[in-house]
């Protein structure tokens, strides 16, 4: 019986080269490297084999399917969020910036429009659930239903040992990192469920895996990861995807940093400190805001249609989540 089954499979997939590359070569214990160079290349299949192996639905180019999508990005006036907004706009999305910093939000909108893209902004405190609900209702009326939410607002104080951190910071870390993810998700999710369509990408941090000098910030970023996975599990059946991007250290470029940036609070790194940080990164280079934007856009895109509940460290390998 077994021989007959094998024979029928072979009959469906004629491959003249198969006989020249017997599986027994591997099973016998000799390594693939030991195969003489004169042997035929097992990857040189004939056309019949290629047709069988290739997915007939596969397209030559990756299609992100973001054109005309309505994309909300919180904290998009500055640094990482700004790069995310610019990148979505470059993909043809209709970007809405939600930020407290009006001047820098308007600058980002202008930069997008100057480049031929579409963007608007709304000044709103994303920790205020009531204000968020009103703003989202306005956006849906004026721009259209929300296809993508990027939870990017976050805040970090100066790094330090747990016992040296003022307990007042615990609450601030929660209010500016995890609470906005709750308020924004609560505001957009019901309509996404009703439309059976939506992608949420939340920006956490490599510190969320546990790191020195970042205890309270890392703890709430771990909360962002956990919450995002819960949303992925609970709402995946409605075609809602929820994923997480964890940036490594992204030092803002001067023109990309807004007045509302937490980088204005005395957080800075000397050349020497940057060298020490780079030496701890396998790729010996820190990520840029654009690197984080690329990963975020990918997670939100149609190319990631089967990805949900995933956590991606964008850090040159500083963290390698399993």
Which residues are at the interface with ligand NAD (CB under 6 A)? 75, 77-81, 99-101, 125-127, 152-154, 156, 176, 203, 205, 247, 249-250, 252, 257-258, 260-263
Shortest distance, CB of residue 173 to ligand NAD, whole angstroms? 10
Nearer to ligand NAD, 156 or 215 (CB): 156
Q: What are phi and psi of 71, to 5 degrees?
A: -120, 120
| Catalytic residue (choose from 26, 161, 217, 235) | 217
* Residue of closest CB approach to ligand NAD: 154
Nearer to ligand NAD, 74 or 94 (CB): 74
Shortest distance, CB of residue 160 to ligand NAD, whole angstroms? 16
Check if 26 is active-site: no
| 8 Å CB contact between 118 and 94 | yes
Nearer to ligand NAD, 198 or 247 (CB): 247
Q: What are phi and psi of 20, to 5 degrees?
A: -80, -5
Shortest distance, CB of residue 229 to ligand NAD, whole angstroms? 17
| 8 Å CB contact between 92 and 67 | yes
Q: Hey, which residues does 71 pair with through a beta bridge?
A: 95, 148
Nearer to ligand NAD, 66 or 314 (CB): 314
Continuous segment of H or E residues that includes residue 203: strand 198-203
Nearer to ligand NAD, 15 or 251 (CB): 251
| Chain centroid offset of residue 280 CA | 22
- CA-wise closest residue to 140 among 87, 210, 89, 190: 190
Which residues, 6+ apart, have CB-to-CB distance to 223 below 8 Å? 174, 177, 178
Shortest distance, CB of residue 80 to ligand NAD, whole angstroms? 3
| 8 Å CB contact between 266 and 158 | yes
Nearer to ligand NAD, 18 or 211 (CB): 211
Shortest distance, CB of residue 192 to ligand NAD, whole angstroms? 21
Token pair listed for 114: 């100057």
| 8 Å CB contact between 91 and 71 | no
Burial of 12 (0-12, 13-18, 19+ CB in 10 A): exposed
Q: Which residue has the tokens 């160079």?
A: 37
Shortest distance, CB of residue 22 to ligand NAD, whole angstroms? 52
| Chain centroid offset of residue 44 CA | 37
Catalytic positions, written as ranges? 217
């Amino acid at each position: 019986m077994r021989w007959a089954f094998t024979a029928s499979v072979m009959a469906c997939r004629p491959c003249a080269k198969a006989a020249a590359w017997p599986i027994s070569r591997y099973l016998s214990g000799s390594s693939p490297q030991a195969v003489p160079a004169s042997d035929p290349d097992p990857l040189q299949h004939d056309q019949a084999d290629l047709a069988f192996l290739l997915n007939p639905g596969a397209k030559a180019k990756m299609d992100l399917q973001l054109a005309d999508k309505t994309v909300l990005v919180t904290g998009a006036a500055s640094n990482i969020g700004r790069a995310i907004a610019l990148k979505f706009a470059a993909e043809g999305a209709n970007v809405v910036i939600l930020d407290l910093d009006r001047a820098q939000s308007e600058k980002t909108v202008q930069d997008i429009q100057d480049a031929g893209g579409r963007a608007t902004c709304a000044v709103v405190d994303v920790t205020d659930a009531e204000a968020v609900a009103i703003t989202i209702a306005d956006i849906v009326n004026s721009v259209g239903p929300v296809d993508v939410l990027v939870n990017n607002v976050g805040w970090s104080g100066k790094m330090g040992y747990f016992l040296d951190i003022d307990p007042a910071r615990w609450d601030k870390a929660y209010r500016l990192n995890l609470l906005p993810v709750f308020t924004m998700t609560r505001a957009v999710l019901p309509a996404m469920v009703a439309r059976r369509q939506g992608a949420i990408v939340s920006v956490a941090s490599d510190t969320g895996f546990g790191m020195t000098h970042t205890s309270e910030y890392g703890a709430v970023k771990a909360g962002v990861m956990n919450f995002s996975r819960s949303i992925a599990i609970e709402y995946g059946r409605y075609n809602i995807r929820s994923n997480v991007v964890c940036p490594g250290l992204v030092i803002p470029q001067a023109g990309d940093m807004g007045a509302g940036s937490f980088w204005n609070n005395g957080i800075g790194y000397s050349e020497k400190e940057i060298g020490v940080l780079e030496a701890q990164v396998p790729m010996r280079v820190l990520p840029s805001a654009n690197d984080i934007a690329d990963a975020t856009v990918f997670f939100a895109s149609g190319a990631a249609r089967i990805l949900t509940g995933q956590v991606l460290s964008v850090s040159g390998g500083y963290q390698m989540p399993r």
